[in-house]
């Protein structure tokens, strides 16, 4: 039986203790099905980024239960969590975060090196394919720092795709882009869900963007509304 739930959060609590205890997330529970295009919105300080880092397994300091593809992330070692991130989650960040030391195509290939499932030639072929789908194949051999913001963001999306992950998480993907580029990115995401049947979880404060997604999860003062 195929597991139709991509990600499930069960009553997640998170608080910062420094300098005073602040509860950032209170009893957050929701699930995202496969192929869903969901956005998390909320005011600044509502804890949406914090939630994304927890969902991405990078932040393990929380209480509650998180299942990715039916696998609980509690009591997993740092190494196992890294493997889960590598295989099941693709990332797109607000600040693009390409590695400036590498060419665009190497940036895309890096998570594939870690997964080490296909040969380097095949990986390069796949990376080129994704870059082409995103209309950036001409940039493949350019160094990352030579690209413009919008180009970087598209290369970052290709990188998120390279290991054919279950989930793609985005932190303010359009936060640094103008509306034209933001539209391009939105359409790419839409394509991803429709053509590749990817599950997307986008954190944004851009209401226009959120309204166009399939589902909106709104956070207010650390609670899901």
Residues in touch with other proteins (CB under 8 A):
49, 53, 56, 58-59, 78-79, 82-87, 89, 91, 93-95, 97-102, 106, 110-111, 113-116, 159, 163, 171
Q: How far apart are CA 2 and CA 194, in angstroms?
A: 19
Least separation, in Å, of the C-beta of 95 and other proteins?
5
CB atoms within 10 A of CB 145: 11
Least separation, in Å, of the C-beta of 82 and other proteins?
4
Nearer to other proteins, 4 or 95 (CB): 95
Q: How far apart are CA 52 and CA 6, in angstroms?
A: 15
Nearer to other proteins, 17 or 180 (CB): 17
Q: How far apart are CA 201 and CA 223, in angstroms?
A: 17
Least separation, in Å, of the C-beta of 211 and other proteins?
26
Nearer to other proteins, 51 or 182 (CB): 51
CB atoms within 10 A of CB 165: 23
Nearer to other proteins, 98 or 224 (CB): 98
**Strands, E, within 17-53: which ranges?**
22-33, 37-42
């Amino acid at each position: 039986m195929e597991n139709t739930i991509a990600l499930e959060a069960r009553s997640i609590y998170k608080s910062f203790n420094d300098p005073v205890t602040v509860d950032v997330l209170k009893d957050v529970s929701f699930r995202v099905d496969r192929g869903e295009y969901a956005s998390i919105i909320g005011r600044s300080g509502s804890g949406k980024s914090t939630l994304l880092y927890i969902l991405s397994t990078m932040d393990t300091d929380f209480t509650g239960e998180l299942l990715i593809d039916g696998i609980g992330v509690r009591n997993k070692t740092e190494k196992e969590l890294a493997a889960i991130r590598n295989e099941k989650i693709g990332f797109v960040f607000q600040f693009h975060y390409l590695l400036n030391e590498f060419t665009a195509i190497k940036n895309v290939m890096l998570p594939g090196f870690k997964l080490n499932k296909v040969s380097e030639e095949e990986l390069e072929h796949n990376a080129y394919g994704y870059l082409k789908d995103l209309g950036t194949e001409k940039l493949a051999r350019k160094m990352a720092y030579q690209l413009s913001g919008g180009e970087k963001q598209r290369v970052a999306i290709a990188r998120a795709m390279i290991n054919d992950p279950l989930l793609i998480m985005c932190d303010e993907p359009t936060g640094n882009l103008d509306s034209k580029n933001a539209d391009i990115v939105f359409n790419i995401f839409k394509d991803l869900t429709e053509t590749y049947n990817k599950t997307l979880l986008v954190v944004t404060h851009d209401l226009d963007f959120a309204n166009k997604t399939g589902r909106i999860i709104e956070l207010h003062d650390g609670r899901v509304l």
